[in-house]
Structure 1
Amino acid sequence: MSKKIFVFIFYIFIFSGCFYSSNYTIFQDNKTGKYGIKDKNIVVLKPSYNYISQIDSLENKEYFIFEKENRYGIVDINGKILLPDIFNEIKEFYNGVAVVKEKDKFGFINKNLQLIQKPIFLEARDFIFDISFVKSSANNKFACIDKNMNLLSDFIYDEVFSFDEDYARVKKDNKWGIINKTCKEVITSEYDYISEFIDDVFTLIKNNHTIFKNKSEL
């Protein structure tokens, strides 16, 4: 008996196109292929979207990213458009800020769904801690910005790598350095290579000379 119940539930999950998020059910209409939302089997958003997904990273769990004709926006559970579908991409929120893409440029919106930076950058990273990395279309280099969209550095970095706890490796003029979470260089960009942290130890190479340092020395 239990096996039959399991198979039945599995069948519904796979073939109805339904999946669950918080208290709402995102469902797919079998005729149109469009997505909508139900609340306890009551349709609260008609299936008119090519894609819809709940924004779990915001306090308000009734906000949804939707897509129509390859354009993304944000709608609430009552169907009110909170952010028009003018973007080619809306990423997940980190620290109250999300990256948006319009055509081939990137910008940012805040947790109030306000556009705080028009899409002007060639690349924009998620806000880890209170800073992000953005790439300029003028010189193809990265800079640090804060959540108020203030520059914390010039556009001087050829590459920036993901934060490993409080620190990130950077490359400037083909030389490696390390910055902290306020974008201050704690290891100047003068090394031929700097490794990732392994058990809090990293390797610096300069002129074929290798140095081992502990993260506590930064």
Structure 2
Amino acid sequence: MRMTLRKLILVITVSIMAMLSQNVWADAFCPKPQGVDYESVECLVEGLARVEKNEQWGFVDKEGNEVVSPQYDDISDFSEGLAQVSKNGRSGYIDKTGKIVIPRLYDSASDFSDGLASVQKNRKEGFIDKTGKVVVAIKFHETLPFSENLAPVKYEYKWGFVDKTGDLVIDLQYDEAWYFKNGLANVRNKDKWGFIDTSNNTVVPFEYDDADGFYEGLAAVAKNEKWGFINTKGKIIIPIQYDRVSYFNEAKAWVIKDEQSFYIDKQGRVIND
């Protein structure tokens, strides 16, 4: 799928977090099969790990047994029991035995989330279910994954939200949109961000220069190039004072202030290692 600037920023932030705590992260969150002979061995996800040999990709199990021989140009980790595979510019899905369960009909495809996956064909995007049935018409210019039964979709220059039947339940009206977390989605109207609920009621006013989604009940928001955190009522819980922040995970968030990086808890207190 095409990667927007917002998606790219999210990937970079998560990567920085991983590098800052590389050893702990690798042991706890990225277990890998041991004693395997491949050019690249990725993390075990849903019991299988991606491996590369001669620029082709396949899967091994946690003991290193080859489950899917390297044969694809690109593959994703398994998500909800299926993995996206690509060859010769066409994408489809396999199950954990390597059987193709959704043919390679698409120009690109994303991971399954909430039982549906976004696919792209002829520069348009929509959603399929695990049988390969198109449930949201392939007509949008961009999509994001389903979360809490809704997905952000873009047509021409505006974003809205569809449900799992393909109905547009929040009209195409926003300049940018992210997916729902804790019942709220961060959306941009002109140059300001706020939060709406699933009925399109404004819960947090459009007053922020940037905003990320809610994680563990808190969302990062920015004003004047500084970041802090609000709760689902819009109340500022952690003052807007940081140069960079991550989302909360296991009750802590990584932040940078005055060129110093460290972790804070949900009250904004520094966590000492």
Q: TM-score range by the shorter chain?
A: 0.5 to 0.7
- TM-superposed CA distance for 1:163, in Å, is 4.3
Unmatched 5+ residue regions in structure 2?
1-31, 224-229, 236-273
CA RMSD of aligned residues (A): 4.1
- TM-superposed CA distance for 1:141, in Å, is 0.7
Task: Give the TM-score of the pair, scaled to structure 1.
Answer: 0.65
SS at match of 2:160: strand
Q: Does residue 185 in structure 1 map to residue 201 in structure 2?
A: yes
Task: Choose which of 181, 191, 194 in structure 1 pairs with 2:208.
Answer: 194
Q: 1:183 to 1:146 in 2, by over 3 A?
A: same
Task: Choose which of 122, 129, 144 in structure 2 pairs with 1:110.
Answer: 129
For 1:25 and 1:168, the matched residues in 2 are separated by 32
Larger Rg: 1
Instruction: Tell me what 1:101 maps to.
Output: 120
Q: Does residue 147 in structure 1 map to residue 160 in structure 2?
A: no
For 2:139 and 2:46, the matched residues in 1 are separated by 35
Q: 1:144 to 1:42 in 2, by over 3 A?
A: closer
Contact in 2 for aligned 1:202/1:215 (Cα 8 Å): no
Greater CA deviation, 39-48 or 69-78? 39-48
Q: 1:85 to 1:179 in 2, by over 3 A?
A: same
Contact in 2 for aligned 1:194/1:202 (Cα 8 Å): no
Greater CA deviation, 163-172 or 152-161? 163-172
Instruction: Tell me what 2:138 maps to.
Output: 119
SS at match of 1:152: strand
Contact in 1 for aligned 2:36/2:64 (Cα 8 Å): no
Unmatched 5+ residue regions in structure 1?
1-8, 206-212
Identity %: 25
Task: Give the TM-score of the pair, scaled to structure 2.
Answer: 0.54
For 2:69 and 2:231, the matched residues in 1 are separated by 57
- How many equivalent pairs are there? 191
Residues 153-168 of structure 1: pairs in structure 2 closer than 5 A: 153-163=170-180, 165-168=182-185
Instruction: Tell me what 1:86 maps to.
Output: 105
Contact in 2 for aligned 1:144/1:183 (Cα 8 Å): no
Q: Does residue 34 in structure 1 map to residue 56 in structure 2?
A: yes
